[in-house]
Structure 1
């Protein structure tokens, strides 16, 4: 076989990466319990296919298989705007290590909606994936293609109950609508969907006026000039839409910071040796440089400070308490 000088340099440059991958696989194999896994690892997503959580899970799945050599599958257990899948993970998922959840901080509101049947503490939270804000978007050919968020808020104030907004009941979409209404003295018509992706489809058809979505759900439509970004949640503008103001910028508030933090969770009763291997395997998958590049391309960034199960667990506790404070303040929960 003949190699050009350029090809030889490229092949040589690949050797450390290949060796590193082999070393990582060897470490995982040394940690892997005997006879496990004996079947594909099921990664449960509680929202429909095509949404931000589903897209994230399929990236994780691909790099999990690359890191471990094991088979896996993504299963969309949908219904109840996430409640069905979260309930299954917390109460019915087998605790043998073959079922994991690709979950997000949206789980906290579903735990409240479960009325005590289960808690987010019934799961162990083992590997941080990424985080991102919500993007507020409108149809580029719709009635609010000009004027941005102020125009929509003014219309919802002048014609209460007529401006149609995407709503996934019992979660951040609903909380965001309430904060917009409070800031502007407005009232939206809340149109319920099982997840963000079906709502974005409705927005593309001009069946609603205001949509909320994660970057992966709207990026292609933004690039094709079918949707327009009008605001993002969070304390600062996103690097992916640097010219788009935050909701806080527009409304003068400082508390419209709803976004998503995603991670891997498993039933608490999973044996310790299997739990340790799963945590290491997902850590290896998510921290693959190619996976990190894909997540960035989707508009989601990891937080290096959450790179251990212990750090993630502490952050989950912090997020849960912050949401509980909001639920108490909004009358959804009692102190």
Structure 2
């Protein structure tokens, strides 16, 4: 009987230390504890709360197969979404696995350095120190998504404005170049017309002089030998007109070559403008697709945030249930302690009666 009560007393002390967060090594069980009197109904009633107090631990560690199998928990300093780590839930978990770190150690732990995108996602989207940290991270992610959407819309709007301005400037320059070419062509045509008019007037004047000279020669005859000098003057004037006409033809050929070169250059510039316009249209399509992909990613992030919010609510509900179960277990433990105390008093009375 003494060994049985010593075992119960040590169990009660261990339970109190477990509720206070201390790490304990289970004491060795001796054979004397099992060689005493048989267990009675009162003994079963006294030991029943201990089994009830262990049930929340199994519920709390249902999502932690690694800890139940003896593996060490992650040392990233954060709490996983699948395992509640708040308040009494941590203490219940430590009762099953004494190797779990304390709250102070968890707070002092630094997160593992992120070596790839999976580690970044794990540190920022999967592991959280508490429910408050999860809610704060949700708010940060919502803010980031909104800022990203606003930034993408602003960039697309600025790009469209810049592209429209570039297209307008290119069209304006092309129109100005065409207007300048038409103006030069008009001036060249006017000069050609004026040269033809001058040549026509010169030929008319030559014809009039030739007619007057021929009429004068018919009247006076060739007695004085005047016809010879007149013919020489006409030949010289004709050679002069032919020389000017050849010079004009050479000048017109040069001008036509220049006009053809300018026309080819204008066609080349127009082709470049068309190529730039095609590139701009292709870039617009690319940016439109990219914007649509960004919107899809933003929608995906929003859905992920909704899922995380639901997961947060589920964890919070689970935490409330575990807290209620812990309170019930604590009440049952108190009742068991009072029952043990009562049995101890009865044992003392029985000893006294036995001695008497």
Q: Computing the radius of gyration over CA atoms, which structure comes out larger, 1 or 2?
A: 2
TM-score (norm 2): 0.22
Give the number of the structure whose residues are more often strand, by fraction: 1
